[in-house]
Amino acid sequence: MATRSVRFGIGDPAGARSAEWLVLWKTKTSDVYLASRILGDTLRVSLHQSGRCHVHGPDLKKFQGPKPPPKYIDNWDIDPQGELTHPVGVVTPVSELRAGTWPPHKAKGTVWVKPRGGTAVEVRVFLSRLPLAPTSELLRIGWHTEIVRVQLPCGRHLTVLAGDADVPDKQLANLRRLKEAIRAHEAMRTTKSPRVIAFATAGWTASDT
C-alpha cells in the first residue's frame, strides 16, 4: 500500500524558520496523518476514515518519567460523513521561528509558508464531501497558501491550507512561562531534551521550538 506525503514548514528555509512537518495519506485507505518531520513518531496525529482521531503518546523506548506515558495524548471523533470538517491544525507563533543549524533532510519539495502578517501562521487540515475541493472558497476568506489538495479513496477531499493568525498576548505569555519552566527543569537533568512541543486540546497545536 503506497503512502503519499507533502512536507511543509513556516518561515525562510535559509533563515528564521520552524521545523518541518508532514501530511501523509494512503492510496488505498482514507486515513490521514500529520507528523513532525524532525521528531518522527514522537508527535503524530492520526485522522482515521472511521472518524476516530488521536494524538499518539511518546515512544515508550525514548520516554523518561516516573510512570508509563499514555497511549494517546488526546483522542476525539469527527463525523466521517460531514460536509466539511477541520479536525486539526498547527499554529506556529512568528516569535518562535529560529535561524540555526537544522538536521539535514533530503530535499523533496518542502512547501515553505512565509508569514504575511499577524503573530502566527496556522496550517489547518480540512476534510470535505463537497462535489469539489473547497480550496477557492477558503482562499477567499483568508487562507493564502495551498499545501495539499487530493481526493481520498472514500471520496472525501483532503485540503491543507495555511493562513495568518493572531495568538492572544495571554497565550504567548503562557508559552514563554512554559518554556522557562522546562528550561529550568532541563538544567537539572543529565540527559538534555533539544525540542519542546506545546499541545492544546482546544484545537491549537503549537509548533515544536
- How high is the pLDDT of residue 154? 92
Element at 173 (helix H, strand E) = helix 169-186
With cell 495555511, the residue in question is 162
With cell 469527527, the residue in question is 78
Q: What is the mean pLDDT of each run of 10 residues along the chain (209 residues)?
A: 89 90 90 84 86 84 72 90 93 88 73 90 94 85 92 94 89 82 70 55 44
The whole-angstrom separation of Cα 54 and Cα 116 is: 31
- How high is the pLDDT of residue 45? 93
- How high is the pLDDT of residue 134? 84
Give every CB contact of residue 27 below 8 A, 6+ residues apart in sequence: 1, 2, 3, 4, 153
**177 to 159, 170, 181, 191: CA distances (angstroms):** 34, 11, 6, 22
- Which residue(s) pair with 75 in the sheet? 54
- CA–chain centroid gap for 7, Å, is 11
- How high is the pLDDT of residue 209? 41
- How high is the pLDDT of residue 84? 93
Tell me which residue of 182, 188, 187 sits closest to 197, measured CA to CA.
Answer: 182
- How high is the pLDDT of residue 207? 43
